[in-house]
Amino acid sequence: MATTEVPVWSVDPRTGKPREQVAVEATAADVDAAVRAAAQAAPSLADRDARSRLLRACADALEAARDELVEAADAETALGPARLGGELSRTTYQLREFADVVDEGAFLDVVIDHADPDAGPVPRPDLRRYKVPLGVVAVFAASNFPLAFSVPGGDTASALAAGCPVVVKAHPDHPATSELVAATLRGAAESVGLPAGVLGLVHGRQAGVDLVDHPLVSAAGFTGSIPGGRALFDAAAARPRPIPFHGELGSLNPVIVTEAAATERAEEIGTGLAGSFTLGVGQFCTKPGLVLAPEGDCGDRLLKALTGAASEAGGGVMLDSRMREAFVAGVRQRAALPGVEAPVEPGGADGHRVRPGFLTVPAAHLTEDSHELLLEECFGPVTVIARYRDTGEVSALLALLPGNLTATVHLGSAEAEGPGAAVLAELTPLAGRILVNGWPTGVAVAPAQHHGGPYPATTSTSTSVGATAVERWLRPVAYQGAPEALLPPELRDGNPLGLPRRVDGRLEPGMNRSQ
């Protein structure tokens, strides 16, 4: 059967013009070949030292290609060299952090219970547990971070750290960057003696569906929209053998400004908010999309500062024309709702640009069905300021919100000394990260990070950023009654690898090799 090749073009978002054809969409056979190559590469990742070397080699290779990568990414995303240079640094830092995670080995969760013939209620056999890789992981790259949440991003890095080969479904907004990065990473693999198949890349929407349906794919990571992510989540669950689908889909990221905070720091908060919601042309998954600000003088001062800062904020080019159209239409729909005003009107600007802005609405309106659109994420440089009259209105609104990646509160200085704990308790059910007196954009790569939250923020209880992201790609296995000589070194009594572990109930910190 003849197959018609579907070309994959790199497009310049600044002009909307195609730049070059960089690939063709993967056929079912192409997807199958990529997955099989990955599955064949899996045994080579069983050795933790090899994984650690691979992750560091990937970081080094990306660093060596810095100028070329930043130029390629900027040409396709219009995010600018400064931001993309920082994003590359974040990406290589993250790869090296996961190498440290691999070296330390705490993620293996080693637990050893020696046999105890006198144990109650029944004698206990020798049991030793650790975690093993799940198998091939499908990674669905995001549009908005062409490096840190794309081919070389946290999903890929954490899967490789876990010992899982990866096949990435490239995001259509930066196919040339994706190809360049994939070649760089595959070269890095070969440079440390690993097969290039540890990382595969496919293009095309159908290729993504084929990937999540492939019998040899054992888990998936996704960052993107609610409809796209939910469709793939459903497909993953509907397989004959369902697989874990760790998707980050969408988030409103509510912010509460207490009256005390606004009274004390209206100008600082207004300016800070403008910086946060316009960052990266509003294309952050942690963009604050709903801000609860008090009525009255202090709230008015906040709005005045916000108006000034937002008016001065430069516009920008969004990642693609479809997003730009969705942003313009989304703003228009929201602005048309009763009670909504636009002190600084967001929308389309000259050429392919958009201009940032914000909407205001009385908080009481948001608990009405007619206004539920305002509780949905609008991708791009816009935020909604809901003015509340009392804390009752705040609580009523919070009770309606879907799950979020983040929830933020700005507190007054006296509240920060104790009374604000009640607000934190009210926000905790809403999100995976709760911020005090900060802004949610910017997600630190750190062991304590949690980038995830109740649905639709994520489709699982996992994180896609930080050391614990590795947990998504592992499953425990226990060995019962296995003689020492047959045990993997991770589970031997003498702890030859110096791993943190729990032995007969007691925690041992291990050699902490990453320290």
Indicate whether 237 belongs to the interface with its own copies (CB under 8 A): yes
Over the window 73 to 112, marking each residue x when it contacts its own copies by CB under 8 A and - when it does not, the resulting string is -------------x--xx--x------------x--x-xx
**Contacts (CB under 8 A) with its own copies, residues 130-149:** 132, 134
Indicate whether 40 belongs to the interface with its own copies (CB under 8 A): no
Q: Are strands 7-12 and 17-24 parallel, antiparallel or unpaired?
A: antiparallel
Q: How far apart are CA 41 and CA 39, in angstroms?
A: 5
Indicate whether 47 belongs to the interface with its own copies (CB under 8 A): no
Indicate whether 275 belongs to the interface with its own copies (CB under 8 A): no
Contacts of 67 by beta carbon, 8 Å cutoff, 6+ apart: none
> Any idea which residues carry the catalytic annotation?
248, 285
Cross-strand partners of 26 = none
Q: How far apart are CA 108 and CA 166, in angstroms?
A: 20
Closest CA to 248 of 320, 317, 154, 147: 154
DSSP line for 149-199: TSTTSHHHHHHHHHT--EEEE--TT-HHHHHHHHHHHHHHHHHTT--GGGE
Indicate whether 118 belongs to the interface with its own copies (CB under 8 A): no
Distances (CA, A) of 366 to 12, 263, 381, 404: 38, 24, 20, 17
Q: Give the nearest distance from C-beta 62 to its own copies in angstroms.
A: 13
Q: Rounded to the nearest 5°, which phi and psi values hold at 119?
A: -65, 150
**Closest to its own copies by CB, 175 or 250:** 250
- Give the binding range for its own copies (CB under 8 A) out of 19-27, 182-190, 388-396, 450-458: 450-458
Indicate whether 418 belongs to the interface with its own copies (CB under 8 A): yes
Indicate whether 480 belongs to the interface with its own copies (CB under 8 A): yes
Indicate whether 29 belongs to the interface with its own copies (CB under 8 A): no
Distances (CA, A) of 267 to 308, 309, 389, 423: 10, 10, 20, 22
Q: Is the dihedral of CA 98, 103, 106, 109 positive or negative?
A: positive
**Closest to its own copies by CB, 25 or 104:** 104
**Closest to its own copies by CB, 29 or 446:** 446
**Contacts (CB under 8 A) with its own copies, residues 216-235:** 233-234
**Contacts (CB under 8 A) with its own copies, residues 397-416:** 402-403, 416
Indicate whether 371 belongs to the interface with its own copies (CB under 8 A): no
Q: How far apart are CA 485 and CA 469, in angstroms?
A: 32
Q: Give the nearest distance from C-beta 498 to its own copies in angstroms.
A: 12
**Closest to its own copies by CB, 329 or 414:** 414
- Give the binding range for its own copies (CB under 8 A) out of 10-18, 26-34, 158-166, 458-466: 458-466
**Closest to its own copies by CB, 4 or 515:** 515
Could you tell me how many residues make up the chain?
515
Indicate whether 438 belongs to the interface with its own copies (CB under 8 A): yes
Indicate whether 244 belongs to the interface with its own copies (CB under 8 A): yes
Q: Give the nearest distance from C-beta 363 to its own copies in angstroms.
A: 24
Among 65, 335, 342, 436, binds its own copies (CB under 8 A): 436
Contact 322, 183 (CB under 8 A): no
- Longest alpha-carbon distance in the chain: 79
End-to-end CA distance of the chain: 57
- Give the binding range for its own copies (CB under 8 A) out of 127-135, 156-164, 193-201, 322-330: 127-135
